[in-house]
Amino acid sequence: MARGRFILLEGCDRAGKSTQCTMLVDALKAKDLSVELYKFPDRTTTIGQMIHAYLTNSKELDDRAIHLLFSANRWEAMQEMKRKLSAGIHLVVDRYAYSGVAFSTAKGLDLTWCKNPDRGLIRPDITFFLDLPTSEAERRGGFGDERYEKRELQENVREVFLKLKDKEWTVIDAKKSILAMHFEILRETELKIRDGEKDGRFAEED
Ligand code: ADP
Ligand code: 2DT
Ligand code: MG
């Protein structure tokens, strides 16, 4: 059996990641494919609850400590994700290690230091970067109360994302309509799934 594909959606706040993840999962299910949604941070685990307490300002943590918790929150999902991919289930993932590096680097931590804890995680088969200028993101509603929902930080995060962007990313212009974005993401995903029927190994982050 061909292994499932790891499909990642990354991008700044309000670029439409969660909207597109749900639409992609529904569209793939409608085509009778096995697919599951993962979201990072996963706030349901013990580590995730600590992250949630930090993001909602009910707990203070050192910048490095919270960075490592975000990474640990991915590591604790790894075995299950590998099992599912091996069983032929496609995974649509809402944020991953790039968000980890982008936010912590934007706060002032060293880029290489930030990348290290995620080394060895399963590598996505396709990374969509939903690109939206901060000014456009702001028009999609006022900032909420979470710790990172601040204009200056969001601008820094976008800059780091643009620095991290490599030629393997598929950049989606998030100024487009929800449906236009969906069709673009679905088309690329279906190509990747067809392509992936040939290989069976996991690529790991380096
Ligand atoms: P993210 O998960 O990237 O933060 P969401 O999917 O939660 O973004 O979308 C943030 C807000 O923007 C929601 O109110 C959503 O309905 C709206 N939105 C999402 N995509 C678009 C789009 N392409 N054009 C206009 N508004 C959008
Ligand atoms: P959501 O709004 O998508 O729940 O994200 N974040 C996320 C990090 O700082 N490091 C990480 O590794 C990840 C995955 C981005 C909550 C916030 O958490 C930030 C926004
Ligand atoms: Mg979201």
The predicted-structure confidence for 44-54, as pLDDT tens digits, reads as follows: 999 999 999 99
Name the one residue in this structure whose structure tokens are 């290690």: 97
Are 45 and 131 in contact by the 8 Å Cβ rule? The answer is: no
- Model pLDDT, residue 199: 61
Name the one residue in this structure whose structure tokens are 């995680």: 121
- In the chain, the amino acid numbered 25 is V
- Model pLDDT, residue 57: 97
Atom of ligand 1 nearest to the CA of 181: 23
- In the chain, the amino acid numbered 87 is A
From ligand 1's centre to the CA of 177, what distance in Å? Answer: 10
- Model pLDDT, residue 53: 98
11 Cβ closer than 6 Å to some ligand 2 atom: no
15 Cβ closer than 6 Å to some ligand 1 atom: yes
Q: Which residues contact 76 (CB under 8 A, 6 or more apart)?
A: 45, 47
Are 171 and 165 in contact by the 8 Å Cβ rule? The answer is: yes
- In the chain, the amino acid numbered 48 is G
Looking at residue 49, what DSSP letter applies?
H
Question: How many alpha carbons lie under 13 Å from residue 14 in its C-beta half-sphere?
Answer: 20
* Sites in the chain below the pLDDT cut of 70: 196-202, 205-206
- Model pLDDT, residue 196: 66
CA dist 190 → 7, 44, 200 (Å): 11, 30, 17
85 Cβ closer than 6 Å to some ligand 1 atom: no
- Model pLDDT, residue 145: 83
Which residue out of 10, 18, 19, 130 has the highest number of ligand 1 atoms within 8 Å of its CB and is therefore the one to mutate? Answer: 19
- Model pLDDT, residue 92: 98
